[in-house]
A = this chain, B = another copy of it.
């Protein structure tokens, strides 16, 4: 099988998103080889399969110690590092490498005030933000194809924006959207906090960021340009995000609202419009976003539901989708449209 020859590196290979990217690289039809980097000296020279036995088939693939210099002349670099790291290394990195796909939040927000408000600190190289494209192919496909630098959207943001964009773009929403978010625990990565212990999570359920202050709201309002109230909840499951948007339509648009969505997503390979209840389980391990628009009888209200796999369409998969576009590959290459069930 033909494989494209390029130098491809992944920084932050040992986090959850990094591990999923590693798997996707491994099974991608056109990626011949790739290098894994970690900022932890303790990981230098360690086989990734020793840390993650499910990657045993990658026997021999070792972690390398990251530095901006060591990535010199790489064609593509994926950054799956914690928020805040990208902005530290970007000024140097950007001079060394070809194209950069950043999965962190550092280069998503174009408005300086919004960034400072939601992230509670000054950005360290805000002047670079405008060189980054927002990596949501369903909105910015053509821009992404030509982009050198991509800021991959947040997981909640992806599901919310895809659920509301057709209405928001057409200016059909009246008043604020009330958005209820539900996420599996992998959204928190492997963070060692008692809130994410099995014993604490299982058979429980709770909201968080309850003051309409979740950081992803900055992205949602940037892209949708409508007022919204958003509250996320932690669900006792590993993967999956379900968004329920309670929205009032401007008068006269209710009859055509389903068509608005059909038209918007007509040729999208990964958007699956359905006319019944969505389930996160129906998109797990795929790059799909499944959307259902439900009309509330004899009223102007509708409820829009969207589901994604937060680690795929909400992170690693979307990054790979952008990569495919930037590299000139088939957009779906290495990404699933059908996942295992149940």
Contacts and interface: CB of A to CB of B under 8 A. Distances in A.
Interface of A: 16, 19-20, 23, 26-27, 52-58, 176, 178, 180, 182, 184-186, 190, 192-194, 196-208, 210-213, 229, 231, 233, 235-240, 242, 244, 246, 272, 274, 276-286, 288, 290, 292, 294-297, 299, 301, 303, 305, 307, 311, 336-342
Given A56-B272, A197-B198, A279-B53, A235 B285 contact: no
A341 B54 contact: yes
A342 B199 contact: yes
**In the complex this chain forms, how many copies of it are found?**
4
Nearest to A240: B205
B338 A27 contact: yes
B182 A182 contact: yes
Contacts of A278: 53, 206-207
18 contacts: A20-B340, A53-B278, A54-B281, A54-B283, A55-B341, A176-B301, A178-B246, A180-B246, A185-B197, A190-B200, A192-B197, A202-B342, A203-B280, A204-B240, A205-B242, A206-B277, A207-B242, A212-B303
A231 to B, nearest CB: 6
Contacts of A240: 203-205
A281 B204 CA distance: 5
B342 A186 contact: yes
Contact of A204 (B57, B199, B280, B336): B280
Contacts of A307: 205
Nearest to A296: B212
Nearest to A209: B277
Nearest to A270: B57
A303 B232 CA distance: 12
B26 A212 contact: no
A235 B236 contact: yes
A208 B276 CA distance: 9
Contact of A290 (B53, B282, B341): B53
Given A205-B280, A283-B54, A23 B242 contact: no
Given A211-B297, A242-B233, A277-B210, A201 B204 contact: no
Nearest to A342: B199
A242 B232 CA distance: 13
A286 B55 CA distance: 11
A221 to B, nearest CB: 13
Given A199-B342, A233-B182, A236-B235, A206 B242 contact: yes
Contacts of A280: 203-206
Given A56-B272, A279-B53, A341 B206 contact: no
Contacts of A272: 56-57
4 smallest A-B Cβ distances: which pairs?
A204-B281, A206-B279, A180-B180, A178-B246
Given A204-B342, A207-B303, 10 more contacts: A54-B286, A180-B244, A190-B197, A200-B342, A202-B203, A205-B280, A206-B280, A212-B297, A229-B303, A246-B246
Contacts of A341: 19-20, 23, 52, 54-55
Contacts of A277: 206-208, 210
